[in-house]
Each structure stands twice: as structure tokens, then as C-alpha cells.
Structure 1
Amino acid sequence: MDSKNHTSASEFILQGLSDRAEHQQLLFVLFLCMYLLTALGNLLIILAISSDPHLHTPMYFFLCNLSLVDLCLASNTVPKVLANIQSNSISISYTCCLTQMYFFHFFGIMDSVLIAVMAYDRFVAICHPLHYTSIMNPRLCALMVALPWIFSGLISLAHTILMSCLSFCAANELPHFFCDLTPLLRLSCSDTTANEALVFIVAGAVIAAPFIFILASYARIVLAILKVPSAGGRKKAFSTCSSHLSVVFLFYGTTIGVYLSPSSGLSALKDKAFAVMYTVVTPTLNPFIYSLRNKDMKRALRKVFYKKVDTSQ
């Protein structure tokens, strides 16, 4: 197609999760409840960890960062979905679309890397307990968080710059509920070879590689747990590992399905269903899986609530 026949898109039409009017209010209530749970759970974790000196350890430092990233990831997409449902306005400007795409990938990459970092922290704590303090020193912990922030920003910027170079035809209906790479690439009239190559390279580096690393770490952890003489200790450790791995498989399974699987006739429906899992469901579950089941975290949260009650009185 000749470039003269291309039109520069000034906005995109987000088709959302469903085009049936009777589903809209149900989706609104469901997304609103999950977003409020996400915001409340992650904010409580950040508040509890920052206010309790006993939680100023590597594990809780990573948890605090994960909670911040989860909150930002959900806030980048869900409020726009809620606003679109209530206002019946399903358009998003070209600039806002690219901005949303940038921050979605920024926080999504951070989420992926931080889950892998936390798996490494648990691996060191369980498999090398005597050397834990020397290995997970403050300098290493700071690097393990700071470098992913920089790395995520650069990758997201590369995706955004390449996307801004593409042309879009007159059709501007995006079969998704937010601006993401894969549906935008399908909508483009330009050659997307460079974009798709970057998607596969980045997905391999920040999705597949961390996923394999996490599985290897937990395999070593399981072997270490099997050597624990106490049956009760083994049961508790396996319960914790299984809950962590359930979130790992949910997050990485759906992201791999979107960014590393070949396109199919049901790709738009698949993308939307999978995207709900890693943009809404996992940020909601992470506070309960990683933190709110933890005794130290429960104690810290009780202190926060009691302090607020005493202050109000």
C-alpha cells in the first residue's frame, strides 16, 4: 500500500472487553472492586514495610517495590477502562495511547524482573542461610532494584519510538481494552518487522528467561525443603512455595501466551483474556500471596491500624 494512502491516526477506538451493553455494568463493578483491592492491599504493604524497622530486610524491600509496581501497573489501565464504561467514550488519543503503552511495558517488565529477584532472594535464604547476609547485602539489593528500573525504561522507550515511526490506516478500531503492542502492530499499515523482532527479543529476555530462572530456583528450594526433618516445617514451606508458584504460572503463562505465541484467528480474544490476568488479577492477588499471609506482615499491619486508632482517639 502506498504511503500516500495512509492516514496519521489522531485517536484509536478501544473496543473494550465486550460490545454488549448488558455486560458493561457488570464489568465496571468487577474491575472497580478488583482495582480497589489492588490499591488497598498494595498501599497497606508499602505503609507497613516503610513504618516497621523490623521489616527493613531484603525480602521486604523487594516486596515493597513489587507492591509499588503492581499498583502502578493496574493504575495505568484500569481507571481508563472504568472511565470509558461510565462515559461511553471509548476513544483514546494517539499521544495518550503511546504513553499508556510505554508505562504498561515499563511496569510490566519491572513486575517480571522483581518476581525473579524475589525468587533469588528466597533461594539464597533457604539454600544458603549462613551466607544470606553477606550475599544479599544492601549494595546488591539496591542494584537488583535500580538496574531493572533503568532497563525497563530504556526497553519501553525503544518500543515507543519504534511504534511512533509506524503509519496507521483509516481503520483505527483497536480490539483491546488498553493500548498494547500486539494489537497496535496488527492495526499498522507499515512494515512491523523491526517491532516484532524487538518484541520477541525483549520477551525472551524479560519473560522467558526470568520464568526459567524462577523454576530453577524453586526446584533447588524444593530439594532443600525435602531435607527438612520436621514434617510440619516441610508442609508450611511447600504451602508457601505452591502459592508463590501459582502466581508465577498465572503471570508468566499469560504473558508468554501473548508475546511469544504465534498469532491465531482468536488472537484478539486471547490477548484480552490474558491481559486481564496480568494487568488486573495478578496485581490483586500478589498482596495476599506474597505478604498478607506472612506473620511478620500481619503484625506490622496490626501496628499500623492500632496506631491510627490511637491517633484518632
Structure 2
Amino acid sequence: MSLGNVSGKIIHQFVIGGFDTLDRPLTVGIVILCIYLLVMLSNLANICFILHDKRLHKPMYLLICNLAVVDMLYSSSACPTMIGVLVAGDKAIAYVSCFIQMFVFHLGGVMEMFAISVMAFDRLIAISNPLRYQSILTNVRTLVLTGALWLVACAFVAVMPATVLSLPYCHSTLKYTFCDYSALVRATCVNPSYYFNMITIITFFLLFGTFCSICLSYIWIIFAMVKMSSKNDKRKMYSTCFSHLIVVVCYYVPLFVRTFSLHSNARIICLSLASAIPLMLNPVIYVLNTEEIIGFLKKMVKQNTSSIIPVN
């Protein structure tokens, strides 16, 4: 890993070159733009619904708010750059901005795993200890747990800029669609194997660690549901877990799929859309499977309709 006498050049900005082989960049850019706007608006609406209604100030909904914040951060880290390249043709990104984008993007990815995992833990407590749920997982404990996860995620992700900041750079063109760890390492003058192996170990630990924790939580939940005698209770438990299971599938399946080698153009589209589509679906899934939020929306529509229609 010794750099020896390797010397690089001073880089003031990078050029995003990952879309250079794309046949219809404008079409892909417009699709990403539409998805990005939907991600931001839907997640923002979800947060507003929960904050507005005091009945939703519960641990489960606080975790949904946290997931919405993570989705917005994760999407905003990469989508604006890709949209700028594809739609406006602006391929340049400043050196410091590139490192900030890398940190925020990977922080969003790690926090997405943590947020989904802690939501599975929340469902586990609610189903296995329904009578003690409110005393075990209070709002204060939920906020403390969420804050701790953000700190742990920052600690993991801080390894990335710490390892590449001091490396010499030989290339200013990034053969990727935005600034992530792989793009910056491949732009350096050093052999990237050591750095890729190090991040692979961390990624493996986080990806399979969080996925296994979710699987174990649901195995425990299934055992708890089998012991239930009431079909009505089982139906309620199923409905509370269904939305979360969809979120797990929508996020982890693209992550596992991205590990396979694809044609360059297909891989670019997969990488671009996989970081946006699951984030767009999350708020929709929770709205459609949460009775309180649906009730709040119906109430708003009824109030707006009554204010528009004049009373005789």
C-alpha cells in the first residue's frame, strides 16, 4: 500500500464521464428528474402528515420520519449531479464538492440500512411484547437510538474520505455517474485493490449484518404470530409488517442485483435508478398501509371539499 515516489497532479475539479456511452442521455435525465421530484415531494408530505397530527407522535411514526429524511438525503446526494450532466450537460464538479457528495451518498446508504433494520426491531417489540411496547420503546428512546445510529453511520463512512484524501490523483475524469468511493479511488495513481478490499469488508459487514438482523427479527415475529389464537390479531400483525417487508425488498434486492456485472449502459441505468426508485416507493408504501395517515388524508380532502362547495 506504500505510495513510494508516486506523484499526481493537482485537481481542482472532476469531470463526470459515466454517461458518455449512453445513447439517450436526455431521456434518462428527465426520468431521473421526475423520480427525484417525486421522492422529495412524497417524503416531505409524509413528514408533514406525521408532524401535523399529534396522534402520530409515536415511535413507529418517528422511525418513518427518520426514513423519509434519510431517503431525501440519499436521493439529493447523487440525483442533482446526474440530472445536471444528463439534462444541462454540466459534467464538471468541484474537488471539495465531489468529496462532500461521496460522504453524503454513502452516509445515506448506510443510514438506509440502519433505518430499515431499526424499524424491523420496532415491529418485533410491538408484536412480541404488545403490552410493554410503550414502556420499552418510548419517543425519547426512539430519538436517542436514531441519533446514535446517525453517529455510528458517520463513523463508518468517515473511513472513505479519510483513505482517499491523501492519495495522488492521475485522472480528472471519473468513469462513473457521480462521485462515489469507487470513482475517486479509480482516479488516483495507486493500485485500488487494497482500498476496494477494505471497503468490501465494511460493506459486507453492514449489508449482511443489517439484512440478517431483519431476517432474525421476522423469524421471531413469525414465531410470535404462530402462537396467536385470534385471526383478527394475526391480520393486524400482518398488516403492520407488510409495508415494512415491501420496503426491505425494494431496497435490498437492487443492492444485491448491483453486485452482478452488467453491460456498461445497463449498469449505468441500474446504478442511477436503483438509488432513486426505492426511495420514491417508501412514502407511498407507508401511506397506503397506514390507517392513521389515510384517515388524515381523507379528513383533509373532506375539509377542502366542504370549503370549496358553498353551503345553501
State whether TM-score is above 0.5. Answer: yes
In 1, the alpha carbon distance for the partners of 2:270 and 2:164 equals: 22
- Residue in 1 aligned with 2:272? 276
Whether contact under 8 Å (2:15, 2:173) holds in the other structure is yes
Whether contact under 8 Å (2:47, 2:68) holds in the other structure is yes
- Residue in 1 aligned with 2:108? 107
In 2, the alpha carbon distance for the partners of 1:31 and 1:79 equals: 9
Per-residue deviation, 1:148: 1.3
Per-residue deviation, 1:100: 0.3
Counterparts of 1:1-313 in structure 2, within 5 Å, are 3=5, 6-17=8-19, 19-21=21-23, 23-169=24-170, 171-192=171-192, 195-229=195-229, 231=231, 234=234, 237-238=237-238, 241-256=241-256, 266=262, 272-304=268-300
Per-residue deviation, 1:49: 0.6
Per-residue deviation, 1:312: 9.3
In 2, the alpha carbon distance for the partners of 1:271 and 1:146 equals: 34
| Partner AA of 1:148 in structure 2 | L
Corresponding residue SS for 1:139: helix
| Partner AA of 1:185 in structure 2 | V
Question: Relative to structure 1, is the Cα distance of residues 97 and 137 closer, same or farther in structure 2, using a 3 angstrom cutoff?
Answer: same
Corresponding residue SS for 2:276: helix
In 2, the alpha carbon distance for the partners of 1:266 and 1:188 equals: 24
Whether contact under 8 Å (2:243, 2:289) holds in the other structure is no
Corresponding residue SS for 1:12: strand
In 2, the alpha carbon distance for the partners of 1:306 and 1:245 equals: 31
Corresponding residue SS for 2:275: helix
Deviations 1:254-304 (A, max 9, x none): 43565xx6xx86596676455335420111011122333211111223445
Question: Relative to structure 1, is the Cα distance of residues 180 and 310 closer, same or farther in structure 2, using a 3 angstrom cutoff?
Answer: farther
Question: Relative to structure 1, is the Cα distance of residues 174 and 268 closer, same or farther in structure 2, using a 3 angstrom cutoff?
Answer: farther
In 2, the alpha carbon distance for the partners of 1:301 and 1:90 equals: 41
Corresponding residue SS for 2:132: helix
In 2, the alpha carbon distance for the partners of 1:51 and 1:240 equals: 22
In 2, the alpha carbon distance for the partners of 1:284 and 1:185 equals: 30
| Partner AA of 1:39 in structure 2 | M
What 5-or-longer segments of structure 2 have no aligned partner?
none
- Alignment RMSD: 3.0
TM-score, normalised on structure 2? 0.85
Question: Relative to structure 1, is the Cα distance of residues 135 and 239 closer, same or farther in structure 2, using a 3 angstrom cutoff?
Answer: closer
TM-score, normalised on structure 1? 0.85
Per-residue deviation, 1:48: 0.6
Question: Relative to structure 1, is the Cα distance of residues 50 and 165 closer, same or farther in structure 2, using a 3 angstrom cutoff?
Answer: same
Corresponding residue SS for 2:118: helix
Question: Relative to structure 1, is the Cα distance of residues 52 and 14 closer, same or farther in structure 2, using a 3 angstrom cutoff?
Answer: same
Aligned length: 307
Corresponding residue SS for 1:165: coil
Per-residue deviation, 1:311: 8.8
| Partner AA of 2:11 in structure 1 | A
Deviations 1:5-57 (A, max 9, x none): 52233322222446345x12221221122112111210111001111010000
In 2, the alpha carbon distance for the partners of 1:312 and 1:155 equals: 52
Deviations 1:139-185 (A, max 9, x none): 3212210111112223323311212112221x333222111112322
Deviations 1:208-229 (A, max 9, x none): 2111000111122223233444
In 2, the alpha carbon distance for the partners of 1:192 and 1:267 equals: 22
Whether contact under 8 Å (2:14, 2:94) holds in the other structure is yes
Corresponding residue SS for 1:129: coil
Question: Relative to structure 1, is the Cα distance of residues 139 and 238 closer, same or farther in structure 2, using a 3 angstrom cutoff?
Answer: closer
In 2, the alpha carbon distance for the partners of 1:5 and 1:194 equals: 18
